[in-house]
């Protein structure tokens, strides 16, 4: 919701916060969203983290994670 700005103002910091909470609670799409957010970064460490999160999402069965993983 915060990532896309659907129904709320777009806010990547809030999106990262909630995606991180979802991932900590075992939500595969939370990892996929963290990957998406990190792909927007100019920093190489965050790009490496994006790959790690996308891989974790795929391992957990996330369709969104698979899409993110294949596109980058």
- pLDDT digits over 14-23, tens only? 999 999 999 9
**Domain housing 53:** 12-71
In a domain, residue 57? The reply is: yes
Q: pLDDT band at 25, cuts 50/70/90?
A: very high
In a domain, residue 5? The reply is: no
In a domain, residue 1? The reply is: no
Tokens 């596109």 sit at which residue?
Answer: 71
Nearest to 36 by CA among 20, 60, 21: 20
Cβ-Cβ contacts under 8 Å for 60 (sequence gap 6 or more): 26, 28, 31
How many structural domains is the chain composed of? 1
In a domain, residue 18? The reply is: yes
pTM of this prediction exceeds 0.95: no
Question: What pLDDT is attached to residue 20?
Answer: 95
For residue range 36-53, list pLDDT tens digits in order. Answer: 888 887 677 777 888 888
In a domain, residue 7? The reply is: no
Share of the chain above pLDDT 90, in %: 39
């Amino acid at each position: 919701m915060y990532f896309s700005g659907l129904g709320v103002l777009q806010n990547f910091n809030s999106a990262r916060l909630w995606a991180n909470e979802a991932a900590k609670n075992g939500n595969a799409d939370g990892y996929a969203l963290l990957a998406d957010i990190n792909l927007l970064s100019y920093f190489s460490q965050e790009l490496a983290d994006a790959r790690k999160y996308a891989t974790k999402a795929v391992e957990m069965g996330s369709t969104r994670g698979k899409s993110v993983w294949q596109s980058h």
